[in-house]
Amino acid sequence: MGSSKEQPRGRKRDADATRAALLDAARELFGRHGYAAVTLRDIGERAGADGSLVARYFGGKAALYRSAVAEDGRESAASPEGVAPGAYTAEALRRADLRGTPGPLVQALLSQGSAPEVRASAAEEMRDRLVSPLAARLALGGADDPVAGAEVLVACLVGVISLRTSGLFDGLSRVDPEVVGAVLESAARAWPAVATYVPGTDASTGPAADGAGDGPNPSVDDGAP
């Protein structure tokens, strides 16, 4: 007969297993269908548990979503702080390909049906996880507005992940993640120069308004009747 000490340990193991099952189910369902489309009943059924237990273990659906995003981030071996943007992009695409969904973070950002607090939390997570480290890299490269540059590049990555897993673009689905990563890496390196380019100017000759190569200036009287 088991001791009284063994029973609490057994209950804790059961509780930990239930919590983990709910979290895994939430990551999968939020990542595939988005926050708004998934109910606590859906999560409970996928986890093989009572959906009402979400409140006990996480505090509610929104808190469960935040836990799912955090867990999804911890699963990534790479970080923009430690690797080049291209390598991080390739790793993110491989993970999305493996699970066949954009993931809970991307889904929450793109879904108009997500609760405002969920979208705000997703945006904050994206800024902390991707935008800030990438902006720091761009700043070292001399970018005038590194945050704007980082947000443009991250938006490109989010779009690629979303469309690649949608199956709507066959060509995009066939491109090797390393190739997509190389494209983003090139864009990151080029950003400081590209961001300072002003349409209508030429880096070698100055503003196009100086008349070079523009043909006749209609404001000048050439003596024609």
Listed in sequence order, the residues at least 6 apart from 96 whose beta carbon sits closer than 8 Å to its beta carbon are: 102, 103, 161, 164, 165
Rounded distance between C-alpha atoms, residue 69 and residue 72, angstroms: 5
In terms of average pLDDT, the best of 17-21, 208-212, 215-219 is 17-21
Evaluate whether 138 touches 149 at the Cβ level (below 8 Å). yes
- Nearest Cα neighbor of 118 from 75, 192, 32, 60 is 60
Listed in sequence order, the residues at least 6 apart from 83 whose beta carbon sits closer than 8 Å to its beta carbon are: 91
Tell whether the model's pLDDT for residue 212 goes beyond 80: no
Read off the pLDDT of residues 22-77 as tens digits, 9 standing for 90 and up: 999 999 898 888 888 899 999 999 999 999 999 999 999 989 988 888 887 666 54
End-to-end Cα, the chain, rounded Å: 115
Rounded distance between C-alpha atoms, residue 69 and residue 120, angstroms: 13
According to the model, what pLDDT value does residue 76 have? 58
Read off the pLDDT of residues 144-170 as tens digits, 9 standing for 90 and up: 889 999 999 999 989 999 899 888 899
Report which residue type is found at 78. Answer: A
Tell whether the model's pLDDT for residue 175 goes beyond 90: yes
Listed in sequence order, the residues at least 6 apart from 64 whose beta carbon sits closer than 8 Å to its beta carbon are: 22, 23, 26, 43, 54, 58
Residue predicted with more confidence, 219 or 69: 69
Q: What percent of the chain has pLDDT over 90?
A: 26
Handedness of CA 147, 148, 154, 155 (dihedral sign): positive
Rounded distance between C-alpha atoms, residue 130 and residue 92, angstroms: 11
Rounded distance between C-alpha atoms, residue 39 and residue 21, angstroms: 15
CATH of domain 13-71: 1.10.10.60
Read off the pLDDT of residues 108-133 as tens digits, 9 standing for 90 and up: 888 776 778 888 888 888 888 888 88
According to the model, what pLDDT value does residue 6 have? 52
Domain residue spans of the chain: 13-71, 76-195
The residue-averaged pLDDT of 2-12 equals 56
CA atoms within 13 Å, Cβ hemisphere of 204: 2
